[in-house]
């Protein structure tokens, strides 16, 4: 949730800090007081496009900062971890600086990030919905995802199975397309691959050969020094003062001591004997090594020639020996596939046909599950819409077969609505009435608020064009949503304002020829006066104050 919003030199705002809380917060004020500017400022924090027009006249840059509580946002935390952004606490500091040149800088927890990465993080935290904004909930391409989100785990295993078989089907189709489109270029590539395979095959590459060559070359190049060292080591173990002879004597002395003082030096004698046998083994090993160590110029030349060959191949192909061996295997497969083109394409077509049948089979099973959940979702949406004073509204979730299956399934899914009796079902984004659209959007958001995972939602005058009982129902619906996530709403409706947990007044003031925007949290009489102004739309009277007081008391009880 958004806890603190700090705005500096942004449009007509000089410097402003707003503390937000959970529940439902309403921002109200006269037209032109700066409510939309605050929405624009929050929009910058979620990655909306910046403009030099946002920088206050005469200033070099505007700064917007937001502190978000991410304790309950697992999805946002996962995105932050994927982007390697430090998370020290359960709070996130998001900062956007907009310069008079039009450029901007985005930071999260003081780490500079791209605008794209900012959007990735913030879409998991905050959703802004305006009355005339094109919303993802209205777009058909998101409707199937909404249905799957609503289903939860009811067919998640089947959906995973479908994704797996479709991806295999798609991969095989791509493989066939590449084979079929490769005519003359394929033959030229075949000649090159044959040459490369012959070159690598003749090289008889072996794993670990380079390391062994380096060892053998070093050994021969240093054979004289090595021979001397081996000889000296062997003499240490075989001359008249050999350490092994001394150890043998020591063992005998310890044996005599143990006869007199039993058990005291048994362990020491065992260790001396073990060391003696170890050195005896070393003596024989050194002797064998001495007899095999001699300088052989021909062998050295052969080893160096082999090393040069391997180094040349590594430079030529840009791969180490292990990668060259793997590449050699790949070349063999590719050459075999091309030389057996007809057989390869025929086999691929059979595999594709089998996979297509599997896609359709699993897709039909998935569709049956989806249609069952769609009936539940349809009834839920209709109930929510009708509760918002659209009693004759009807909605259907349409399923139409696709010409070709895609990663989502074998059918085209779309939410269709008839706002009024006698009207045909049509796409959500073709609803003309702003009031109807606002209520439908609110109904959808109230249903999907949990599955979408966000922790805050901001409504920008979505209640425009709504009044009377419909306005009261919208207010109650916003309050319901606020039970799950933080709701911030700019509203002209007294019903919404009186239903809120917190009421902030946005006002505009002029001082020394400069206009500034201020925010004040309303309580008691101040709140009554503002609600009265919202009721009357003009001068506030004792009667409108009484109406406001009664409305606040009634809605706060709800």
Residue 381 tokens read as 């949406």
Nearest CA to 118 among 91, 133, 88, 96?
96
Q: In what order do the strands lie in the sheet with 91-99?
A: 13-19, 2-10, 61-69, 91-99, 104-108, 111-113
What SS3 state is found at 263? Answer: coil
d(CA 281, CA 125): 71
Distances in whole angstroms, Cα of residue 48 to Cα of each of 39, 42, 51, 108, 189:
11, 9, 10, 15, 48
What SS3 state is found at 107? Answer: strand
User: Which strand (E) or helix (H) includes residue 397?
Assistant: strand 394-406
pLDDT tens digits for range 396-417? 999 999 999 999 999 999 999 9
pLDDT tens digits for range 487-500? 999 888 899 999 99
Domain that holds residue 255: 201-318
Task: Output the pLDDT for position 222.
Answer: 66
Nearest CA to 113 among 86, 89, 88?
86
The pLDDT confidence band at residue 169, using thresholds 50, 70 and 90, is very high
Sign of CA dihedral 320, 321, 323, 327: positive
Residue 136: DSSP 8-state = G
- Considering the domain boundaries, does residue 314 fall inside one? yes
Secondary structure (DSSP) of 15-39: EEEEE--SSEEEEE-STTSSHHHHH
Task: Output the pLDDT for position 445.
Answer: 82
Residue whose tokens read 């004073």:
389
d(CA 401, CA 391): 31
- Considering the domain boundaries, does residue 263 fall inside one? yes
Torsion of CA 339, 341, 343, 345, to 10 degrees: 150
Task: Output the pLDDT for position 133.
Answer: 45
Residue 61 tokens read as 């840059």
The answer, yes or no, to whether residue 558 has pLDDT greater than 70, is no
User: Which strand (E) or helix (H) includes residue 480?
Assistant: helix 468-481
Q: Count structural domains, the chain.
A: 1
Please report, for the chain, how many H helices and E strands are present, in that order. Answer: 18, 15
pLDDT tens digits for range 358-400? 999 999 999 999 999 999 999 999 998 888 888 888 999 999 9
Query: Are β-strands 24-28 and 486-490 bridged in parallel, bridged antiparallel, or unpaired?
Result: parallel
Cβ neighbours for 19, distance < 8 A, ≥ 6 positions apart: 3, 4
Task: Output the pLDDT for position 452.
Answer: 64
Residue 8: DSSP 8-state = E
Between helix 434-448 and helix 468-481 the angle, nearest 10°, is: 20
Residue 179 tokens read as 């084979």
- Considering the domain boundaries, does residue 345 fall inside one? no
Residue 118 burial (C-beta neighbours within 10 Å; 0-12, 13-18, 19+): buried
What SS3 state is found at 553? Answer: helix
- Considering the domain boundaries, does residue 141 fall inside one? no
Does the model's pTM come out above 0.85? no
The answer, yes or no, to whether residue 298 has pLDDT greater than 80, is no
- Considering the domain boundaries, does residue 502 fall inside one? no
pLDDT tens digits for range 338-359? 777 767 778 889 999 999 999 9
Task: Output the pLDDT for position 135.
Answer: 59
Nearest CA to 94 among 83, 78, 108?
108
The pLDDT confidence band at residue 183, using thresholds 50, 70 and 90, is low
Residue 129 tokens read as 């919905």
pLDDT tens digits for range 112-125? 999 999 999 998 88
Question: For 219-246, what is the mean pLDDT?
Answer: 74
| CB-based contact 29:506 (threshold 8 Å) | yes
The answer, yes or no, to whether residue 64 has pLDDT greater than 60, is yes
pLDDT tens digits for range 309-340? 899 998 999 989 899 999 999 999 888 877 77
- Considering the domain boundaries, does residue 186 fall inside one? no
- Considering the domain boundaries, does residue 214 fall inside one? yes
d(CA 357, CA 23): 51
Task: Output the pLDDT for position 132.
Answer: 43
| CB-based contact 94:45 (threshold 8 Å) | yes
The mean predicted confidence, pLDDT, of the chain is: 85
- Considering the domain boundaries, does residue 60 fall inside one? no
d(CA 16, CA 12): 11
For residue 515, list its beta bridge partners: 510
Interior CA angle at 315 toward 314 and 316, to 5°? 95
pLDDT tens digits for range 122-151? 988 888 876 444 456 677 888 998 899 899
Question: For 229-251, what is the mean pLDDT?
Answer: 78
- Alpha-helical runs (H) found in 264-340: 266-291, 297-317, 321-339
The answer, yes or no, to whether residue 503 has pLDDT greater than 60, is yes
| CB-based contact 290:227 (threshold 8 Å) | yes
Task: Output the pLDDT for position 306.
Answer: 87
243 against 479, higher pLDDT: 479
Taken as a whole, the chain contains a residue count of: 558
d(CA 29, CA 35): 7
Nearest CA to 323 among 336, 310, 314, 332?
314
């Amino acid at each position: 949730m958004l806890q603190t919003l700090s705005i500096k030199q942004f449009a007509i705002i000089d410097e402003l800090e707003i503390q937000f809380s959970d529940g439902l917060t309403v921002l109200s004020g006269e037209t032109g007081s700066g409510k939309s500017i605050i929405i624009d400022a929050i929009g910058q924090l979620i990655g909306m496009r910046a403009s030099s027009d946002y920088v206050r006249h005469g200033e070099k840059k505007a700064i917007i900062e937001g502190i978000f509580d991410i304790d309950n946002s697992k999805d946002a935390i996962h995105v932050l971890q994927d982007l390697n952004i430090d998370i020290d606490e359960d709070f996130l500091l998001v900062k956007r600086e907009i310069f008079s040149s039009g450029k901007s800088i985005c930071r999260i927890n003081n780490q500079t990030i791209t605008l794209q990465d900012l959007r990735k993080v913030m879409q998991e935290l905050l959703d802004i919905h305006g009355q005339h904004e094109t919303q993802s909930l209205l777009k058909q391409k998101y409707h199937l995802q909404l249905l799957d989100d609503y289903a939860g785990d009811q067919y998640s295993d089947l959906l995973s199975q479908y994704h797996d078989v479709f991806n295999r089907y798609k991969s095989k189709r791509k493989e066939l397309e590449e084979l079929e489109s490769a005519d003359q270029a394929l033959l030229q590539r075949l000649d090159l691959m044959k040459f490369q395979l012959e070159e690598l095959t003749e090289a008889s590459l072996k794993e670990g050969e380079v390391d062994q060559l380096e060892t053998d070359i070093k050994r021969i190049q240093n054979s004289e020094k090595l021979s001397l060292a081996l000889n000296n080591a062997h003499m240490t173990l075989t001359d008249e003062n050999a350490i092994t002879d001394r150890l043998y004597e020591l063992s005998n002395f310890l044996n005599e001591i143990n006869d007199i003082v039993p058990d005291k030096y048994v362990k020491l004698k065992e260790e001396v004997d073990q060391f003696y046998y170890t050195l005896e083994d070393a003596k024989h090993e050194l002797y064998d090594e001495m007899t095999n160590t001699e300088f052989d110029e021909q062998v050295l030349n052969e080893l160096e020639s082999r090393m040069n060959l391997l180094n040349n191949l590594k430079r030529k192909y840009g791969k180490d020996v292990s990668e060259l061996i793997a590449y050699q295997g790949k070349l063999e497969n590719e050459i075999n596939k091309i030389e057996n083109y007809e057989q390869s394409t025929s086999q691929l077509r059979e595999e594709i046909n089998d996979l297509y049948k599997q896609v359709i089979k699993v897709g039909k099973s998935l569709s049956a599950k989806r249609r069952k959940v769609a009936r539940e979702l349809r009834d839920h949406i209709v109930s929510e819409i009708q509760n918002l004073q659209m009693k004759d509204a009807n909605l259907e979730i349409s399923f139409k077969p696709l010409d070709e299956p895609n990663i989502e399934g074998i059918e085209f899914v779309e939410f269709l609505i008839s706002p009024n009796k006698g009207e045909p079902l049509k796409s959500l984004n073709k609803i003309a009435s702003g009031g109807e659209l606002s209520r439908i959007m609110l109904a959808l958001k109230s249903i999907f608020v949990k599955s979408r995972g966000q922790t805050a939602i901001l409504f920008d005058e979505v209640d425009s064009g709504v009044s009377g009982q419909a306005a009261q129902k919208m207010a109650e619906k916003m309050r319901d949503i606020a039970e799950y996530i933080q709701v911030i709403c700019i509203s002209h409706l007294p019903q919404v304002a009186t239903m809120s947990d917190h009421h902030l007044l946005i006002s505009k003031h002029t001082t020394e020829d400069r206009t500034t925007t201020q925010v004040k949290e309303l309580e008691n009489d101040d709140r009554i006066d503002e609600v009265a102004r919202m009721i009357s739309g003009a001068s506030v009277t004792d009667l409108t104050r009484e109406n406001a007081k009664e409305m606040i008391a009634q809605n706060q009880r709800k």
